[in-house]
Amino acid sequence: MPARICCGSGFWNIQFNSLLNHKFTRRTQGVAFADDLILAIRCETASEVEKFSNKELSKIATWSKYSKIRFNEEKTKVLVISRRKRNELKEIKMCLQNETLEQVITLKYLGII
């Protein structure tokens, strides 16, 4: 089992800031609090969401590899917010570090559901 290294909050903020300064597409907004990151991606169709999300997740995976940081895919979720009815929404396949992310209908973030 590889050793896990923990860094202090100051170092983490410096490290994480480089990710937030990445050039995301104009459709994407990255929001971070402590060690949590939300990518909000606005698109018109499910296929656009899938295309642009995977493009942005690829950038994050590259940053992660370069920074020697690994995201926990089990804790990483996909939440689709749409004006369409839930039963009309298509399952969207998004991958991070070659792992398919789970799509959920509710999400707890900073203690809020």
pLDDT tens sequence across 39-82: 888 888 888 888 999 999 999 888 888 888 878 778 888 888 87
Q: Please report whether residue 109 resides in a domain.
A: no
Give dist(CA 92, CA 36) in Å, integer. 22
Section 6-35 average pLDDT? 77
Under a CB-based contact definition with an 8 Å cutoff, are residues 30 and 24 in contact?
yes
Q: How confident is the model at residue 1 (pLDDT cuts 50, 70, 90)?
A: very low
Domain count, the chain: 1
pLDDT at 54: 92
pLDDT in tens, 80-99: 887 766 555 577 888 888 88
Task: Check: CB of residue 49 under 8 Å from CB of residue 43.
Answer: yes
pLDDT of residue 85: 62
- Whether 63 is in a domain gets the answer yes
Residues with Cβ within 8 Å of residue 113, at least 6 apart in sequence = 106, 107
Enclosing domain of residue 64: 9-15+22-104
- pLDDT of 16 reads 76
The pLDDT value given to residue 79: 87
Residue 34, in any domain of the structure: yes
Residue 113 is assigned to a structural domain of this protein: no
Q: So what's the pLDDT on residue 37?
A: 82
